[in-house]
Amino acid sequence: MFIKEKIDGIKFYKFQPVQILALGFAAVILIGSILLSLPIASRDGNPTDYIDALFTATSAVCVTGLVTVDTGTHYSLFGQIVIMLLIQIGGIGFMTFATLIALILGKKISLRERLIMQEAYNTFNIQGVVKLALYVIGITFSIELLGAVALSTQFIPKYGLLKGLYFGLFHAVSAFCNAGFDLIGNFQSLTPYVENTVVNLTVCALIIFGGIGFAVLTEVINYRKTKKLSLHAKVVLSATAFLIIIGMILFLVLEYNNPKTLGQLSMKGKLLASLFASVTPRTAGFNTISTSDMTTAGKFLTIILMFIGASPGSTGGGIKTSTAFLLFMTVVAVVQGKEDTEIYEKRINKSYVYRALGITMISFIIVIAVTMVLSIVQNGEFIEFLYEATSAFATVGLTLGLTTRLTLIGKIIIIITMYIGRVGPLTITMAIAHKQHTTTNLIKYPEDKILIG
C-alpha cells in the first residue's frame, strides 16, 4: 500500500502516486463541501443541508454537473464562485495548481511529484511533465478566456455588463472542464439558447478542446511547427470526430419529428441541437433540448456516448475514446484473423489491449452495480437508473430528472460513483489492491484451452 523509504535509520511510509491522487481529490471535495454548507454560500442565508453540499462539491470537483439543488437559484455569488473554483481545480487537477504554486515560490519539483503528475496526466513517462503542466495552465486559461468573451456577447444583452461577463466566465470554465454546471436557473441548463449559434458552437468547441486531453491539445497547437502527430493523438482525434459526426446524424434522425425535442425547431435549430446532443456526452452535462423527453432510442444512444466519454488526460471521464477505439480495432483484427491489433500501420502491444479490456469491464461492472442499487432504493424506470449511473460514473452530468428525486442512500451512491468515475476505475483498483498495473507476473502456469463463442 505504501512506498517504504529508510532515511538515517528512520522508516518512512509514503503513499503511492495513485493513492495521493485519490486522497487529493477527496480532500478538495471535503473542503468544498464545508464551504458550500456555510450560510454565506446560499441565497437565503441558511446553511445548505450537508449531504447536498457534499453532492455539489463532489459533482464540481469530479466535473460532473449532477446537482440536487439548482446552482443558479440556490447558491449565492460566494457559493457559485466556490463551485467555479472547484470545477477549475477538478478539471485541470489539483497537482497542476500545486505545481504552479511551487514554481511561483521557487521550489523545485521533485521526482516523486513528477511521478504523481505523470499519473494525473496519464502520460507515458515523466519527461516533460512540468513543462506539460505549464502548458496545461496556459492553454486552459487562454481557451477559457476566449470562450468567456464569446459567451459574454450573448449574455450581456440579457443580464447586463457585469453579470453578463460573470455568466460568460462561469459557463466557459464549466464547459472547458466538461462540468456542465450552469447559472441559468430552474434546472434549464442551456435550453433557452437552443437556436443560438454563438452559444452552441462556443460551448461545443470548449467541450471538445477540454475533452481531447491536454497532451493531444498541445500536439495540435504545435502542429504547424512539428508537422507530425503521435499515434495517440491520431487515435483520439479520429475517434472524437467519428463519435461526434455519427452521434449528430443519429440524433437528427431519431429526434427529428419528436415535438418535445427537435420537432418544433427550425432546420438550423435541429442541426445545432443534434450537434450539441452529440458533443455533450463527451462528459460535459449541458443540454439544449429536454433529455427526459427524448425517444428511448435517443436516451440509449446518449448512454452509449456517455459510457465512452472523453479522452485520456483530459477534463472528462468515461472509459475514454482511445480505449473504445483500441477495442474496436482489436475486434477488427480478430475478424481478419490477425494476431496483433494494428492502428495506422502500427502494431499495438497486447498489454495495452488487456488494460483497455480491464478498464472497460471494471467500468461496465460499476455501472451495472450502481444501476442495480438505484433500482432498489429509488422509484422510477430502468432507463432512468441506467442513465443516471452512466452519467455519474462517466462524470457527464446529464439526467432524466432522477437526481432531484434521489433519496439519502441514492445521493450517497451517486457521490461515490462520481468520485470513482473521476479518479478512474483502474486507479481505484490499483490503490485498493496495493499494486502497480505494471507489475510483471513471474509465475506462468501450463497453457490449456477453453471453448469461446
- pLDDT at 310 exceeding the cut of 50: yes
More confident site: 99 or 228: 228
Q: What is the mean pLDDT of residues 259-271?
A: 95
Cβ(78)–Cβ(170) below 8 Å: no
What pLDDT, on a 0 to 100 scale, did the predictor assign at position 287? Answer: 95
User: Which helix (H) or strand (E) segment is 10 a member of?
Assistant: strand 10-15
Q: What is the mean pLDDT of residues 208-226?
A: 87
In a domain, 372, yes or no: yes
- Picking from 50-59, 285-294, 433-442, which range would have the lowest pLDDT averaged per residue? 433-442
What pLDDT, on a 0 to 100 scale, did the predictor assign at position 444? Answer: 76
Number of independent structural domains in the chain = 1
pLDDT class of 174 with cuts at 50, 70, 90:
very high
* Structural domain harbouring 374: 2-433
Largest CA distance in the chain: 75
Q: How far apart are the first and last CA of the chain?
A: 39
Residue burial 179-199, b: 16+ Cβ < 10 Å; e: rest: bbbbbbeebebbbebbbbeeb
What pLDDT, on a 0 to 100 scale, did the predictor assign at position 198? Answer: 97
Q: What is the pLDDT of residues 375-428, one digit of tens each?
A: 999 999 999 999 999 999 999 999 999 999 999 999 999 999 999 988 876 566
pLDDT class of 23 with cuts at 50, 70, 90:
confident
- pLDDT at 225 exceeding the cut of 60: yes
Residue type (1 letter), 144: E
pLDDT class of 218 with cuts at 50, 70, 90:
confident
CA distances in angstroms from 113 to 107, 225, 295, 435, 437, listed in the order given: 12, 30, 48, 19, 19
What pLDDT, on a 0 to 100 scale, did the predictor assign at position 317? Answer: 85
In a domain, 63, yes or no: yes
Q: What is the mean pLDDT of residues 67-88?
A: 95
Cβ(210)–Cβ(314) below 8 Å: yes
Is beta strand 10-15 parallel, antiparallel or unpaired with respect to 2-7?
A: antiparallel
In a domain, 443, yes or no: no
In a domain, 314, yes or no: yes
Alpha helices in 111-230 (DSSP H): 111-121, 129-159, 161-176, 197-211, 214-221, 223-226
- pLDDT at 37 exceeding the cut of 70: yes
What pLDDT, on a 0 to 100 scale, did the predictor assign at position 334? Answer: 93
Question: Across the chain, what does the average pLDDT equal?
Answer: 86
pLDDT class of 90 with cuts at 50, 70, 90:
confident
User: Which helix (H) or strand (E) segment is 139 a member of?
Assistant: helix 129-159
What pLDDT, on a 0 to 100 scale, did the predictor assign at position 10? Answer: 43
Q: What is the mean pLDDT of residues 130-149?
A: 84
Q: What is the mean pLDDT of residues 235-245?
A: 96
Separation of alpha carbons 426 and 358, rounded Å: 8
Q: How many CB atoms neighbour CB 204 within 10 A?
A: 21
Question: Facing residues of 2 across strands?
Answer: 15
Radius of gyration of the chain (CA): 22
CA distances in angstroms from 321 to 13, 59, 309, 354, listed in the order given: 36, 22, 6, 16
Q: How many CB atoms neighbour CB 135 within 10 A?
A: 17
- pLDDT at 178 exceeding the cut of 70: yes
Separation of alpha carbons 240 and 311, rounded Å: 8
Q: Residue 152 has which C-alpha cell?
A: 459574454
In a domain, 338, yes or no: yes
What pLDDT, on a 0 to 100 scale, did the predictor assign at position 7? Answer: 41
pLDDT class of 336 with cuts at 50, 70, 90:
very high
pLDDT class of 128 with cuts at 50, 70, 90:
low
Cβ neighbours of residue 168 under 8 Å, at least 6 residues apart?
A: 147, 148, 149, 150, 151, 152, 153, 154, 155, 156
Cβ(428)–Cβ(22) below 8 Å: yes
In a domain, 445, yes or no: no
Cβ neighbours of residue 392 under 8 Å, at least 6 residues apart?
A: 64, 66, 370, 414, 417, 418, 421
What pLDDT, on a 0 to 100 scale, did the predictor assign at position 8? Answer: 45
Alpha helices in 256-348 (DSSP H): 267-279, 296-308, 321-335
- pLDDT at 369 exceeding the cut of 90: yes
Cβ(325)–Cβ(359) below 8 Å: no
What pLDDT, on a 0 to 100 scale, did the predictor assign at position 423? Answer: 82
In a domain, 451, yes or no: no
pLDDT class of 313 with cuts at 50, 70, 90:
confident
Helix (H, G, I), strand (E, B) or coil at 287: coil
More confident site: 144 or 442: 144
In a domain, 444, yes or no: no
What pLDDT, on a 0 to 100 scale, did the predictor assign at position 436? Answer: 46
